[in-house]
Amino acid sequence: MSKETSDFLMAERPPSTETAVTVDSTSSASSGLTLSWKDLGYTIKDKTLLSGLNGCVEPGQVLAVMGPSGAGKSTFLDVVAGRKGKVGSLYGQVLLNGTQRAMKKYSSYVTQDDSLIGCFTVRETIRYAVELGQPISNKKVREDKVQELLAQFGLVKCADSPVGDAIIRGISGGEKRRLSIAVQLVKEPKIIFLDEPTSGLDSAASFKVMEAIRDMARRRKCTIVCSIHQPSPSTYALFDKVLFLARGNTVYYGPTNGIEAEYFKSVGHEIPVHSNVPDAVLDHINVDFLGDEELANTRIDHFVKSWTQSAGRVESISSVDAELKKAHTSNEDAGIIVGGGDYTHGFLKQVEILTRRNFQNALKNILLFWVRLAMYLAMAILMGTTWLRMSDNQNTVQDRFSAIFFTIAFLAFMSVAGIPAVLEERAVFYRERMNRTYSVGAYVIANTLVSMPFVLIIAVGFSIPAYWLMGMNSGASNFFVFIAYLWLALYVAESMVILLAAIFPIFVAALTLASFFNGLEMVTQGYFVRRQNIPAFWKYVFHYWNYQKWSWEALIANEFVGLTFQCNPNPVGGGCFCSIPSSLGPDACKFTGEDVIAEYGYGDYSYWKSAVCLIALIVFFRLAFYVTLRVKKPKV
Ligand SMILES: Nc1ncnc2c1ncn2[C@@H]1O[C@H](COP(=O)(O)OP(=O)(O)OP(=O)(O)O)[C@@H](O)[C@H]1O
C-alpha cells in the first residue's frame, strides 16, 4: 500500500462536523431528483456514438458507467449532463423527475483534469471552494466543513502542503485527484456527474474516494452518475446500478447485486465464481484486441441484441415511463427546484471572495507578477546605468526619446511572462464556471481589481531606480506623472495579454500573438516613424488604437516640457549649432523641451486625451475578455 493511501486510510474525521452538515441540510438535502434517459441516441456526422439507451437513477443512488475504451462512456456523461452543445445530433430525452429541465442548473460535472491553483495549499483550496460553494456565514462552521472535506477525501496529512505548479513541488498526483474531486463536490448539487474520478488512484484510494461519494449520495439524496474503468470488487460494490456500454449500445443496465452475473450467464457468457464482475464483463465485451473484425461485430451484435430482447430492458423502459407519468400527476416539482445549482452567493459577495482569492494568488504566485518585478528591477539598473544621469546637452534629446520608448515597449512586452499563470487560472475558472460557482462578470471584475495594484507595484518598482539613475525630468510632479502613464500602459498590455490567453488558451499561441501585437504597437506608435509620416491606412488601423502611442505622447511631454537644452558650439564659423530650432532666439544657444516636442510634431499633446484613450483601451480589452469568457466554451 502506498504511503499516500495509508495516510488516507489513517486520516481522522474531524471532532465536530455536525453543525456544518446541519446548516446545509436545510437548504438542499430536503429532496432529490430522479435522472432518467429515454431512447437516448447521439450521432456526429453520420457516426452513431450512442443508441437506444434507457434507464434512471434515483436520489441517493450511484450509477457506474462502464465499458471498454471508446464504448461511449464520456459521450454518455456529456450528453446526459447537457455538455455536448451543438456539436452533434441528440435523440430521445433526458429527464429530471420526468420532465425536461436545464440540467446545468441542477448538476455539477467533475472533470478528469486537476485544474487547481498551484500556489495554494490544500486547505486554502478547499476553504475557497467552501466559501464560494456553501452559504455558510459563520467562520467556525465553515472551518468545520473544510476539516470535514479534508477528512472525507483523505487530505488531512497534506492539508498545509502546496498543490504545486511548474515552480513549487506539491502534493502527489493521487492527492491532487482527490482534492480536485473534493472541491468540485463542495456545492453538493442534486445531480453529480463524475468522469473517471478514480483515474490515477490505487485501489484502496479509489475505494475511499468512491465511498465518500456514495456516502454523500445517501446523506444528501444526490443522484450520481460516474464513469469508471475496472473498479476493484469492493469499489464496484459501492455502486447501486451499472450501465455496461459497448460501441454506444447498452449491453447491461441494472443493479449491481449479482443480477448482472445471472444475466450474462443467461446470454451465454458466464462470469466465473469469485472473479471480479466488472473485469469479467469487460473481458467479454472488449473486442478491440480480437484481431478478427467479423468475430468482434458478431459478439457485440449478440450482446446488443440479447439486451434488446431482455426483461431488464423492458423493466428499464417501464421505470422511465413511470417517471414520465409521475411528472404529469405530481405537483412536487416546484419545491424540488429550491436548492438547485444556482449561484450560492449574490454578485457582490462573489466579487468579494474572488478578489480575495485572486489577491492571495497574485501575492503567492511567483510567475504572475514577482518574476516580472525582479526582471524590471534588473532592467531599471541596467537602463539607469546605461543612460546614466543624462545632462542638459542637446545630444541627450534622442537618448531621452529612446529611453522612454524602450521603457514602455520592453515593460509592456514582458506582460507575456504572466501567460502561464493566466492559463492556470483560466482552467480553474472554466471548471468553476461550468458548475455555476460564480458569474463571468464577478470573475472579470475581481481579476480587473486585483491586477491594478500589482501592475502599479511593478511600475513603481521599475521607476524608482530607473528614473533617478537616468536623470530624467526632475520637476516636482514629473516622477508621479511618469509612474501614472507607465502604469496605464502596462495595465493595457496586461489586459491585452489576458484577452489573448482567453481566446487562444495555448501557451505558445498566446505568447506568439501577444509578441506579434506588441511588435505591431511598437512599429506604429510614432517613435520609429514620426506620426506625420505614418501612412493613413496604418494610422487609422493601428496608430490611433495604439496604447504605446498614447503613453508615449504623455511621457515625452512629461519629460521635455520644462527642460532647457544647451546647443553645441558651431564647428564652422563660431557661435552655436542647435539641432532643434530654438524659440529663445538665435543668440540664446539653447532651446526648450517645448521646442523639441513641436519639432517632432507632438505640440498638440494632451495628458487628458492620452489618459482617456488608455482607460478606454483598458475598458475595451476587459469587456472583450468578458465577452470571450461568456462565448467561448472549453472543448468537450
Ligand atoms: N467528435 C467526435 N467525432 C467523431 N467521433 C467521436 C467524437 N467524439 C468521440 N468520438 C468517438 O466516439 C466513441 C466514444 O468515445 P468516448 O470518448 O465517449 O469513449 P469512452 O468510452 O469514454 O472512451 P475512453 O474510456 O477511452 O475515454 C469513440 O469511438 C470516439 O472515437
Q: Which three cell numbers stand for residue 393?
A: 546637452
Does residue 70 line the site of ligand 1, with CB under 6 A?
yes
CA of 70 to the centre of ligand 1 (A): 5
Res 13: pLDDT: 39
CB-CB contact of 530 with 549 (8 Å): no
Is residue 564 pLDDT above 70, yes or no?
yes
pLDDT-based confidence at residue 190 (cuts at 50, 70, 90): confident
**CATH number 3.40.50.300 given to 3-327:** yes
Closest residue to atom 25 of ligand 1, CA basis = 69
Does residue 336 line the site of ligand 1, with CB under 6 A?
no
Is residue 563 pLDDT above 90, yes or no?
yes
List of residues 6+ apart from 384 with CB closer than 8 A:
465, 466, 468, 469, 470
Closest residue to atom 16 of ligand 1, CA basis = 72
CA of 75 to the centre of ligand 1 (A): 6
pLDDT-based confidence at residue 16 (cuts at 50, 70, 90): very low
Does residue 95 line the site of ligand 1, with CB under 6 A?
no
CA of 506 to the centre of ligand 1 (A): 23
Does residue 49 line the site of ligand 1, with CB under 6 A?
yes
pLDDT-based confidence at residue 586 (cuts at 50, 70, 90): confident
Residue among 40, 50, 73 whose CB has most ligand 1 atoms within 8 A, to mutate:
73
Rounded CA-CA distance 129/120 in Å is 12
Closest residue to atom 27 of ligand 1, CA basis = 69
SS (H, E, C) 302-358: HHHHHHHCCHHHHHHHHHHHHHHHHHHHCCCHHHHHCCCCCCCCCHHHHHHHHHHHH
CA of 328 to the centre of ligand 1 (A): 35
Backbone angles phi, psi at 52, to 5 degrees: 55, 45
Q: Which three cell numbers stand for residue 628?
A: 470571450
CB atoms within 10 A of CB 30: 13
> What are the residue ranges spanned by the domains of the chain?
3-327, 347-529+619-631
Q: 634 by DSSP, 3-state: which?
A: coil
Closest residue to atom 12 of ligand 1, CA basis = 49
Query: pLDDT for 434-462, tens place per residue?
Result: 888 899 999 999 999 999 999 999 999 99
Closest residue to atom 17 of ligand 1, CA basis = 74
- What's the mean pLDDT when you consider all of the chain? 86
Closest residue to atom 26 of ligand 1, CA basis = 69
Res 8: pLDDT: 46
Does residue 84 line the site of ligand 1, with CB under 6 A?
no
CA of 247 to the centre of ligand 1 (A): 9
Does residue 26 line the site of ligand 1, with CB under 6 A?
no
Residue among 45, 69, 74 whose CB has most ligand 1 atoms within 8 A, to mutate:
74
Query: Using only C-alpha atoms, what is the Rg of the chain?
Result: 32
Amino acid at 477: S
Residue among 45, 49, 77, 83 whose CB has most ligand 1 atoms within 8 A, to mutate:
49
Closest residue to atom 24 of ligand 1, CA basis = 69
- Ranges 8-12, 208-212, 603-607: which has the least confidence: 8-12
Res 290: pLDDT: 65
CB-CB contact of 80 with 312 (8 Å): no
CA of 114 to the centre of ligand 1 (A): 21
Across the range 239-263, mean pLDDT stands at: 89
Is residue 530 pLDDT above 90, yes or no?
no
Closest residue to atom 29 of ligand 1, CA basis = 70
Closest residue to atom 18 of ligand 1, CA basis = 72
Amino acid at 99: T
Is residue 78 pLDDT above 60, yes or no?
yes
Is residue 137 pLDDT above 70, yes or no?
yes
Res 635: pLDDT: 55
Across the range 579-594, mean pLDDT stands at: 90
Is residue 110 pLDDT above 90, yes or no?
no
Q: What angle do CA 292, 295, 299 make, to 5 degrees?
A: 135
Q: 107 by DSSP, 3-state: which?
A: strand
Residue with more model confidence, 32 or 342: 32
- Ranges 312-316, 321-325, 514-518, 544-548: which has the least confidence: 321-325
Res 85: pLDDT: 67
Is residue 12 pLDDT above 60, yes or no?
no
Quickly tell me which residue has 457506474 as its cell: 64
Query: pLDDT for 460-504, tens place per residue?
Result: 999 999 999 999 999 889 999 999 999 999 999 999 999 999 999
Q: 487 by DSSP, 3-state: which?
A: helix
Quickly tell me which residue has 500556489 as its cell: 119
Is residue 214 pLDDT above 60, yes or no?
yes
pLDDT-based confidence at residue 293 (cuts at 50, 70, 90): confident
Res 581: pLDDT: 92
Which ligand 1 atom sits closest to the C-alpha of 71?
A: 21
Is residue 202 pLDDT above 80, yes or no?
yes
Closest residue to atom 31 of ligand 1, CA basis = 70
CA of 254 to the centre of ligand 1 (A): 23
pLDDT-based confidence at residue 338 (cuts at 50, 70, 90): very low
Q: Is the ipTM beyond the 0.90 threshold?
A: yes
Res 626: pLDDT: 96
Which ligand 1 atom sits closest to the C-alpha of 78?
A: 18
Is residue 547 pLDDT above 90, yes or no?
yes
Query: pLDDT for 145-173, tens place per residue?
Result: 999 999 988 899 999 999 998 788 889 88
Rounded CA-CA distance 93/91 in Å is 7
Res 27: pLDDT: 38
Residue with more model confidence, 51 or 259: 51
Res 511: pLDDT: 93
pLDDT-based confidence at residue 5 (cuts at 50, 70, 90): very low
CB-CB contact of 1 with 204 (8 Å): yes
Across the range 63-75, mean pLDDT stands at: 92
SS (H, E, C) 571-598: CCCCCEECCCCCCCCCCCCEEEHHHHHH
Across the range 243-265, mean pLDDT stands at: 88
pLDDT-based confidence at residue 593 (cuts at 50, 70, 90): very high
% residues pLDDT > 90 (the chain): 51
Does residue 67 line the site of ligand 1, with CB under 6 A?
yes
